[in-house]
Structure 1
């Protein structure tokens, strides 16, 4: 054991039995994996044991990483309690905006993102003996990044640095093989937990929307649990809004001896601590919590868990660059973690608000955040580390290439990376030190350079935290006003900016704290908080645009904007500024296909042009005007998809005219073309041959379905548009030749088309009947059955491979029978049809032996028979 630290008496927890093996593993190897189920005590015991390890020099620290601030402070408090010391002496913690450490601190419990900053400042971590990744199974983005950098530092600079991964649910053997590292397993301990699922009959009557479902289920379940069980009740809900909704529904209906607490990461510390403390003697607690309470916390007194079964997770779409929060079903591993909260200190009960059948359909684990998150911060940190290729580091899951490319594009636009080699600029280094997402860091730094430092810091703080506004009336279904200026007004005044609105006071205080912290990091930072006048005079739209240059927008309609990227988003512009034409959009909600701007600010044309002058282009454009149905030319100034100015020009170039017509047709679709019956049948014949012959034929047969034709429209239709100027001229164009010209085999392939998929077929009566290829799996020959007398075998196409589907018509032209087996019809089905139709059509032949009769389309009289 280390001479500098004597291990205190440890609590009787299962992980204690695994400590000798764990310490031996770390003595022999610089890496190890500890698999410890919920209740084993790994967070409480292991850091103290590592501090007493012989391989730890007395001056070096143990870093313990936790995924959340609440867990970080709680773990530090518990470790310090075991030592009989206050937090900040031997055991301390660091979280954003708060820390308690001293020169004597040897165990630092930190949030995961702080490790990255420590590594960037000191890649060798000279004063650190071991880095412990607690709750690694959560696979947060910061944990994956921190581990990749720590492994790189260990391999290159500090081979003696120990790295320990602790996990409750991750597949430890897989992790051990990947590192590689020895795996130590600890027994866990939970008191018996009785688990109840939702009655399937009850489930069928519930709303599908998670928020409505939980609002209906949870309050009554809480009251029932309090009546039927002892101890406190912990309720898991997906988001803060769900907590508040259930809080209002419970209202005054709880017993008089029961206190109601909310627990989420945006609460003040005192409110979080109140939720975690044991209830006073004679009282009980109900804690409404987000996923923050899943791991690393033991909430004393909890005997009942009510799990709503959902979680709020961020989803980043590289195609659009939007990150949205989605409510998704909880993973089974997380559900087990939640259930375990009920059996930490005594036998407990868990109510799962989903059916047992639904439980088996839940995903086993949450997807790692690296697959679903915006990677701009990660890519910037890698560039600062000296790594341009993420794959050169060791990852349990390599960052997705599409998200990395999207991040590099954004960082280049922000000026954080330079050139094709994606090297960090001095500006990029400055952004990383602020501890903000790169967008918001850019807002703070550039805003200060423009002389609006206090407003930029306040705006970045607002955008980094939860919205501080709410409706004063609970359950108001309306979306909050999207105007960012209202938030700044509320931040400065501490009062609701409009009648009917109220403030989240805890969020207000946190935003002010973050703003002050950011201001303190800026050169010549002002001592006082900015007042309303400062905000009123600041260009809020321009500052917002600095953070979101890819979300500059132009009004297209009173309820719709077009982003600089070309995507459309909904926004009632009268809710921000009914006179404004340009906006900077900060937040988007809704779906990727129907995004909705939830925070925005107006932007002057002059501000826009001055700030983004290098990105503005002037070009001559030719476009199709739907109003006149003709093509016109103009000279335009654009910022991406935003139109800043346009002037008409004279006679446009014919090639540009053809391109404009093509552009309109590509947007409007193939329905705008002249699809005669012959053209549509030709398309269907070509697609039929492609599906049934394809590469098997002498020539290749390209796809001719609508999607393929639309995608290839310039190639097959473009040459035929030269000289045309209007849609009317386009709609007189015969499509048969353009379609046939798309065949690579020229004349020979056209002849092969007629052989494999003839447009019409001569039937025994001598008639030529047009074939219907609308269904390529069953082309149709619709013909009066009398015209097929004497024909015994079903006709086929595609070189005899595909029999036709025969629609045998009555003399009146209505389907009498549908078959692919003509011989069987003559032998069996014909006589039933004759029995039904002979009386209605007595003038037409109905022979006893149809296979021997003369085929005809004539009546008996005209045929010359009786």
Structure 2
């Protein structure tokens, strides 16, 4: 079909189909026969597959790999009448590829060529080429691990590294190794590094198809980052419109940016006759086809697309690409268990894919909204979903496959340990896995529904309550991502509530021909979910039950109001709803969409949870416990009966007669938390502790008695005497010195008194208290005159430890500290004597301290 502009307007999808015979469903016809680069690689590819070697086909965008390769292999002898299964990463790509290949046979999808995507399929008894999305392969492998009727599995556009694609390859590899040695595997991509893939495949043949159909000129058009993205995009689109003759394909990160760019283009004018069309996954089938196929009457198109058009899909007639350089993707946080949409700079790999869209049908141009300098800092390749996604669906599939440890399979990138552990914890909470990690009967039933485990659990539980249809509506709304950020204005709104959307869905007509609104699309999806779940058509049920159903899907996101729009979630995390939202006034809610930024995440979408539903859910999924713990404020043991859902406490009441063992454990925990300050220490108890520490240092047969050791051994020495004690006041009535003494045997007490005496008798006759606070240097403080005649330092601890003597003036001020009295009398006394005699002339200061009489008075009495 030729446009009025006359350049690149032929049906490129059809032109890529070569004339190859096949063994099923009619004769393939030649449509717009044109040699494509991939044709030259086909002989080598056939040889590799005939030798039963895994293969990797690297072919540039526009080379024709998606539509040429499957028909070219259909008559290979090794296929032996079995199917070719080709995986595409997107639904639209799968349907488009099937339609194009079917047209080459003069058929429509459902004959020789068919497709299967989520909730939709067109296949028949004679289908030989089946194009599926990646999740469908997983379902097929789970139901038939050997894939008996499949001879070849093709992983197309594998560079996108979707989670389901990586999983499908890992399962297919194990199936080939254990059950089907003759199962052929082929990986195709334009930009992937083949080395890691070849390694996982056990040494695959790498076949390259060089060159693309038409050359593409790259033009960098950087603009000020202060300009809004839609303004920068519109400027580049108008330039591309003026400088090229075909259609313009524009890559933007999301639906919001597409809407703004379209408004900017319509407002600015300068695009005579242009048909400006969006292209994203939320559109109905007919709207998507309208964007992909040539315009009626040959009008030029401007297609504003997400990553949907990055690979596999040919937007016919495109000769110019405008690339914003941005992508939007889900980022999962194992720390919070939550996903959020983030906008990132695309990789050079993605940029090359997008650039290739301009050279599919004619020479083209690619306008990049960044500079060459910025390009040098862009990531080389996209981050695989495996490394940044919610792994709960993967973990459920592996459990259904019989794998407990993902390391049992071969991966290009293995699942991250933290994210996988988080996924397993969620699956146990959803009752999909037992404590031993083995899938439960409930888990198998959830897996069969083909939706996220959270939604599958909700549907399964709702069916048992007669609310299955309502759960399907809720699941459809969440899958369609109908939620949008709450408005930023100050007016009171209900934008964060799911209920208005649910009511709109229930009121929408069940129109399934070409869904136009989010409600229409969700209604179609809900109807198909009902069919999968085996539910009859009919009313959905009361939307007021939505909160209860969501709680089954998000048991970790049941929230209780803390005030000011803030909620505590059952998973332990804080969250908030702006106070302008009506939801902020609810006592309980369930958050379906929440970000993980900051200490408290913002709730974007939730449903209120009625009080009676809270009780109902708590009876099934909550816990009741008697918590006995130390109340530091009251300095007493507290015993409460607590009803809770995770971290959310529903109610608590005092328990009058808690278990005695629990009380004792709480008491000891309180003492330890106070670092021993709650113990009833007396002067006598401290002195005994210090003496016991001294003896332990000298003889390790004595028990360790420092504070840390006493706290560690509370159960041994305190607990037997603390029966019935529930408060610090009662604890203070205990005689701690007696309790410490009970730690010693009778013989140890005798040794303690003999070798660590409380007092020493000095030459004056005084009994001086020994200070053991430093167990390595016990000491006495005594007036110097009382030590006359003591020629040697006193020793304790079986004579091994000298007592440090602090000699005092008559006014009891320290004048000397010594552990060697003999040396003091000989070397130091006389200098000290001069000073003391001058200050205390009436006191006795003999010239021979060794032979002098000790006195506690001014002078000796005799």
TM-score (norm 2): 0.71
Q: Is the 8 A contact 2:230 2:260 kept in 1?
A: yes
Contact 1:615/1:639 (8 A) holds in 2 = yes
- The structure with the larger Rg is 2
1:106 to 96, 116, 128: 128
Q: Partners in 1 of 2:378 and 2:605 — Cα distance?
A: 34
Residue 601 of structure 1 corresponds to 607
Alignment partner, residue 49 of structure 2:
26
1-side partners of 2:424 and 2:256: how far apart?
34
- The aligned runs of 1:709-858 (5 Å cut-off) are none
Q: Does 1:217 align with 2:217?
A: no
Q: How far is 1:246 from its partner?
A: 1.4
Q: 2:332, 2:340 within 8 Å by CA — same for their partners in 1?
A: yes
**Which residue is equivalent to 1:268?**
284
The alpha carbon displacement at 1:491 in A equals: 0.9
1:315 equivalenced with 2:337 (yes/no): no
Q: Secondary structure at the match of 1:251?
A: helix
The question of whether the paired residues in 1 share the 8 Å contact of 2:161 and 2:384 is answered with: yes
Matched, 1:73 2:95: yes
Distance in 1 between the 2:492 and 2:148 partners? 54
What secondary structure sits across from 1:415 in the alignment? coil
Once the 2 structures are TM-superposed, how far is the Cα of residue 227 of structure 1 from its aligned partner? Answer: 2.6
Q: Is the Cα–Cα contact under 8 Å of residues 30 and 160 in structure 1 kept in the other structure?
A: no
Q: C-alpha distance in 1, partners of 2:674/2:650?
A: 22
Displacement after TM superposition at 1:344 (Å): 1.7
Q: 1:215, CA displacement in angstroms?
A: 2.4
Check the 8 A contact 1:194/1:349 in 2, yes or no.
yes
Corresponding position of 2:820: none
Q: 1:618 aligns with which of 625, 638, 642?
A: 625
Cα distance in 1 for partners of 2:291, 2:329 equals 23
SS of the residue aligned with 2:294? coil
Determine whether 1:516 maps to 2:516: no
- Equivalent in the alignment of 1:145: 167
Aligned equivalents of 1:425, 1:662: Cα separation in 2: 42
Partner of 2:80: 57
Alignment CA distance shift 1:216-1:662 (3 Å): farther
Aligned counterpart, 1:641: 647
Question: What number of residue pairs does the alignment pair up?
Answer: 658
Q: Is the 1:190–1:340 contact (alpha carbons within 8 Å) kept by the matching residues of 2?
A: no
1:660 to 1:640, Cα distance in 2 relative to 1, 3 A: farther
1:154 to 176, 181, 186: 176
Distance 1:575 1:295, change over 3 A: same
How far apart, CA to CA, are the structure 2 residues paired with 1:750 and 1:305? Answer: 83
Contact residue 415 and residue 425 of structure 1 kept, 8 A: yes
Distance change in 2, residues 1:99/1:622 (3 Å): same
CA contact (8 A) 1:330 1:362 kept: yes
**Counterparts in 2 of 1:592 and 1:398: CA distance versus 1, 3 Å:** farther
Partner of 2:471: 456
Q: CA deviation at 1:604?
A: 3.2
Aligned counterpart, 1:47: 70
Deviation at residue 328 of structure 1 after TM alignment: 0.7
The aligned residue for residue 567 of structure 1 is 573
Query: Which of 544, 552, 558 is residue 546 of structure 1 equivalent to?
Result: 552
Alignment partner of 1:175 is 2:186: no
Is the CA contact (8 Å cut-off) linking 1:13 and 1:40 kept in structure 2? Answer: yes
Match of 2:426 among 392, 402, 410: 410
| Unaligned ranges ≥5, structure 1 | 208-212, 496-503, 666-713, 716-721, 727-746, 752-866
Could you list the per-position Cα deviations for residues 783-840 of structure 1 after superposition, in whole angstroms to 9, with x for gaps in the alignment? xxxxxxxxxxxxxxxxxxxxxxxxxxxxxxxxxxxxxxxxxxxxxxxxxxxxxxxxxx
Q: Distance in 2 between matches of 1:8 and 1:53?
A: 18
Query: For residues 317 and 557 of structure 1, do their structure 2 counterparts lie closer, same or farther at Cα, with a shift above 3 Å needed?
Result: same
- 1:549 shift after superposition: 0.5
Paired with 1:657 and 1:601, the residues of 2 have a C-alpha distance of 42
Per-residue CA distance 1:7-37 (angstroms, 9 max, x = gap): 7656310010110100000011241111112
Q: Tell me, in whole angstroms, the C-alpha distance in 2 between the residues paired with 1:435 and 1:183.
A: 34
Distance 1:463 1:219, change over 3 A: same
Tell me, yes or no, if the aligned pair for 2:116 and 2:130 is still in contact at 8 Å: yes
Q: Distance in 2 between matches of 1:605 and 1:418?
A: 30
* Length-normalised TM-score, structure 1: 0.70
Residue 292 of structure 1: SS of its match in structure 2?
helix
1:562 is displaced (CA, Å) by 0.6
CA distance in 2, matches of 1:415, 1:577: 29
What's the counterpart of residue 4 of structure 1? 23
1:487 pairs with 2:501: yes
Write the distance in 1 (CA, Å) between the matches of 2:365 and 2:775: 74
**Match among 344, 361, 375 for residue 345 of structure 1:** 361
Instruction: Quote how far apart the aligned CAs of 1:83 are.
Output: 2.2
Superposed displacement of residue 244, structure 1 = 1.2
The alpha-carbon distance between structure 1 residues 162 and 97, as it changes in their structure 2 partners (threshold 3 A), is same
Match of 2:595, SS state, is strand
Farther off after superposition, 279-288 or 549-558: 279-288
Aligned to 1:328: 344
SS, match of residue 217 in structure 1: helix
Q: Give 3-state SS (helix, strand or coil) of 1:362's partner.
A: coil
Partner Cα distance (1:7, 1:67) in 2: 26
Distance 2:578 2:145 in 1: 49
Task: Within 5 Å, give how 1:644-723 maps onto structure 2.
Answer: 644-647=650-653, 656=666
**Deviations 1:642-688 (CA, angstroms, capped at 9, x unpaired):** 111134579997985896799899xxxxxxxxxxxxxxxxxxxxxxx
Once superposed, what is the RMSD of the aligned Cα atoms?
3.6
Shift, 1:398, TM fit? 1.1
Q: Is the 8 Å Cα contact of residues 198 and 356 (structure 1) preserved in structure 2? A: no
**1:238-293: CA deviations, max 9, x gaps?**
11111112122223434341001000011011100000112344521110000011
Query: Would you say 1:401 and 2:417 are equivalent positions?
Result: yes
Which residue of structure 2 aligns with residue 526 of structure 1?
536
Residue of structure 2 equivalent to 1:694: none
- CA separation of 1:385 and 1:371: change in aligned 2, threshold 3 A: same
User: What's the CA shift string for 1:569-621, capped at 9, x where partnerless?
Assistant: 11146734465322111111352644111111222344223323353132335
Contact 1:245–1:475 (8 Å) recurs in 2: no
Q: Partners in 2 of 1:165 and 1:477 — Cα distance?
A: 53
Alpha carbons 2:115, 2:123 under 8 Å: kept: yes
1:86 to 89, 108, 121: 108
Task: Quickly say closer, same or farther: Cα 1:127–1:97, change in 2 above 3 A.
Answer: same
User: The residue matched to 1:378 in structure 2 has which SS?
Assistant: helix
Aligned equivalents of 1:351, 1:635: Cα separation in 2:
67
Change (3 A) 1:148 1:583: same
Distance in 2 between residues matched to 1:224 and 1:724, nearest whole Å:
81
Instruction: Check the 8 A contact 2:493/2:580 in 1, yes or no.
Output: no
User: Relative to structure 1, is the Cα distance of residues 49 and 664 closer, same or farther in structure 2, using a 3 angstrom cutoff?
Assistant: farther
State how far apart, in whole Å, the 2-side matches of 1:477 and 1:161 are: 61
Evaluate the alpha carbon distance shift between residue 300 and residue 2 of structure 1 in structure 2; reply closer, same or farther with a 3 A threshold: closer
Instruction: Say yes or no: does 1:118 pair with 2:149.
Output: no
SS in 1 for 2:378: coil
Q: CA offsets per residue over residues 98-147 of structure 1, 9 Å max, x none?
A: 22211111001111110011111111111111000001111100111111
Q: Does 1:535 align with 2:550?
A: no
Correspondence for 1:371 = 387
**Change in 2 beyond 3 A, CA 1:664/1:529:** farther
Find the residue that maps to 2:503 and give its secondary structure: helix
Alpha-carbon distance, 1:174 to partner:
3.7
Structure 2 gaps of 5+ residues are: 1-19, 510-514, 676-710, 713-724, 730-772, 778-862
Counterpart of 2:60 in structure 1 is 37
Q: Distance in 1 between matches of 2:461 and 2:496?
A: 24
Distance 1:227 1:430, change over 3 A: same
The 3-state SS of whatever aligns with 2:268 is coil
Tell me: CA distance 1:644–1:528, structure 2 relative to 1, closer, same or farther (3 Å).
Answer: closer
CA drift at 1:527: 2.2
- Structure number with greater CO (CA < 8 Å, separation at least 6) is 2
